[in-house]
Amino acid sequence: MDENKENKVNGAEDEQLKKELEELARVFQEELDKAKEEELSAQSEADGAEESPADAELIQDLEDVQAVSQEEDDEEIPEEELCECCGENRKGTKKNPDSPYCYECEKALRHYPFELINIIVPLIAIVFSLYCCYVFSNNIGIYTAAEEADKYVGENRLYTASSAYDIAIEKMKDEGVNGELVYKRAFDCAYKSGEFLSKDLDEDVFKKWELKLPHLKSVYKTKLEALEMQNTQSAITDIFYKYDTEDVKDLPYDKIIEEIEALIDAPAKEMPVYDGETGEEISTTSPYNIKVQNYNKPMILYYEFYIAVVCEKDIETQISFLEKIRDEYPEMTWIYGSVLGDLYNKANRSVSDLCRQIRAVNADDSSADVIEATSLRIKGDYDKSIEICNKFIDKEDTYAYEFLRQKSICYLLKGELDAAYKAAEEAYEQSAIPLTANLLLICSAATDNTDTYNEVAELFKQSNMDISKEILDYKDGKTSLEQIFTKGDFDVV
């Protein structure tokens, strides 16, 4: 109980003490604030009393000058230190303090912007290059065909080249390409091989004025020569018809030759050209207005040879005309090669130089091999002759019938009559001309094949042709195969 009373008394005393302490803290704070205020006012009064207004102004100015100087250091950059691009900031960057550009400009210049035109021009060029790719790939077939033809020309395989040019030209037509230089090379090839007279070459490929330009000069020359040859043929035919006789023995050989030779220096007479549709005479000599001024000398010489053959002049006279062509126009083997080789064989002269020359001009010209096979057969080397013939028979060559004929003669002379008959029959099937028909008659007679003999003889009769005396003599047993094929013309005429 006493304890409780004592606790109550202690609590009241604590309460009283707390209040007194709080009051004391408030008074202390008030007194402290008051003292601070008094001290500050006293300080300001004391400062004002110590300095005069003039001194204060002077001090202030000096400080200002120092402050302005510091500001100028920060803001005004010497001209030589300014960025060369923007001219505002200080040049140099952290990475490259020596850079003539400020950080921003250097960053921008490293990503220099494109103008619209900068992009448009290359873009157009790239798109156009894609179109170019398309054009190129479209024409690849033409390029390869023409390249192939050119390759054959390089190898002197003129007939193969001519066929390859035909393919290339066909492809050009399909693609609507007017490749003048391909036509030009086809013309050149046809000229070399002698096909330009017979081959149908497009007339409207070149423009008239173009033929006068250097790159198409050879086309002009080819066309001119073709026209000259046609004119020459026409002029010689006119001369020949003047002396039209029933018997060739009545032909005035010397006079005809004289007249033909006079054409060499004579100005060419314009050959009339007729319109295909209306039949009217056209004033120009060709679609390209090529004027023919002279007659063609190789053609004149060839016709002189022809007249010599018709007038049954001796073999050396015939050879002399062809040798003139060979000497003056060696590249024209197509005009003299095979006939001269045949004459050399008949005259039992060497044919090796001629064959080499024919092959050098046109490796595809198998007439050289015909001449060689005939020469070997005449010399009695039948096996080698047959070997040459077989090569061309297998290739289905243009002259395959002639190779078959030579093979047949070789077998006849070797005594292998059945093989001879078979080859002769094949030759006749390939080309039913008097030459093959004659041989088939002999082979039929040799093998006693009367059916074939009569059949062919009937054809001769229907064509109003006489069977050769040699064949009739052989059939009647008046002559032998050796006499026909190893003497005289070495062949059945």
Write down the least CB distance from residue 319 to another protein, Å. 42
Distance CA 401, CA 195 (A): 20
- Tell me, residue by residue from 184 to 203, as one string, x for binding to another protein by CB under 8 A and - for no binding: x-------------------
Cα distances from 171 to residues 39, 96, 108, 466, 486, in angstroms, run: 117, 65, 56, 49, 51
Stretch that binds another protein, among 19-27, 173-181, 222-230, 411-419 (CB under 8 A): 173-181
Q: Interacting stretch for another protein, rule CB under 8 A, among 17-25, 48-56, 111-119, 238-246?
A: 111-119
Q: How far is the CB of 267 from another protein (least distance, A)?
A: 34
Alpha helices in 51-115 (DSSP H): 53-75, 103-109
The H or E element spanning position 273 is strand 273-274
Which CB sits closer to another protein, 102 or 340? 102
Q: State in angstroms the smallest separation of the CB of 194 from another protein.
A: 24
| Site membership for another protein, residue 177 (CB under 8 A) | yes
**Would you say 84 and 106 are in contact if contact means Cβ atoms under 8 Å apart?**
no
Binding status of residue 381 toward another protein by CB under 8 A? no
> Does residue 170 interact with another protein by CB under 8 A?
no
Q: Which amino acid makes up residue 313?
A: K
Report residue 226: phi and psi, to 5°: -60, -45
Residues in the chain: 493
Quick one: tokens of 53? 């207004």
Residue placing its CB nearer to another protein in the complex, 173 or 487: 173
User: Of 392, 360, 361, 362, which is closest to residue 374 (Cα–Cα)?
Assistant: 392
Angstrom distances, CA of residue 485 to CA of 138, 297, 338, 369, 479: 58, 36, 19, 19, 11
Q: Which is nearer to another protein, 91 or 405 (CB)?
A: 91
Nearer to another protein, 25 or 109 (CB): 109
Question: From the CB of 371, what's the least distance to another protein, in Å?
Answer: 34
Q: Which is nearer to another protein, 218 or 447 (CB)?
A: 218
- Please pick, from the candidates 179, 298, 337, 341, the single residue that binds another protein as defined by CB under 8 A: 179
Cα(146)–Cα(167) distance, integer angstroms: 8
336 lies in the site for another protein, by CB under 8 A: no
Specify the residue, 148 or 473, whose C-beta has the smaller distance to another protein: 148
Min CB(254)–another protein separation in Å: 50
Touching another protein, residues 203-242 (CB under 8 A)? 207, 215
Binding status of residue 146 toward another protein by CB under 8 A: yes
In 3-state terms, what secondary structure has residue 148? helix
The only residue of 89, 139, 218, 294 in contact with another protein, by rule CB under 8 A: 139
Residue 8, amino acid: K
Piece of 181-189, 228-236, 287-295, 373-381 that binds another protein (CB under 8 A): 181-189
Instruction: Give the whole-angstrom CA distance, residue 338 versus residue 354.
Output: 9
How far is 309 from 493, CA to CA, in rounded Å? 14
Closest CA to 231 of 158, 308, 285: 285
- Count the residues of the shown chain that bind another protein, applying the rule CB under 8 A: 42
116 near another protein, judged by CB under 8 A = no
Work out which of 110, 209, 283, 451 binds another protein, going by CB under 8 A.
110
**SS3 (DSSP) at 275:** coil
Closest distance between another protein and the C-beta of residue 282, in Å? 21
CA distance 177 to 173: 6
Distance in Å, CB of 79 to another protein, minimum: 20
Q: Cα–Cα distance between 120 and 137 in angstroms, integer?
A: 26
Stretch binding another protein (CB under 8 A), from 110-118, 231-239, 361-369, 422-430:
110-118
CA pair distance 420, 399, nearest whole angstrom:
18
Closest CA to 356 of 376, 371, 335, 342: 371
Any contact of residue 46 with another protein (CB under 8 A)?
no
Binding site for another protein (CB under 8 A): 101, 106, 109-114, 118-119, 121-122, 125-126, 128-129, 132-133, 135-136, 139-140, 142-144, 146-148, 150-151, 172, 176-184, 207, 215
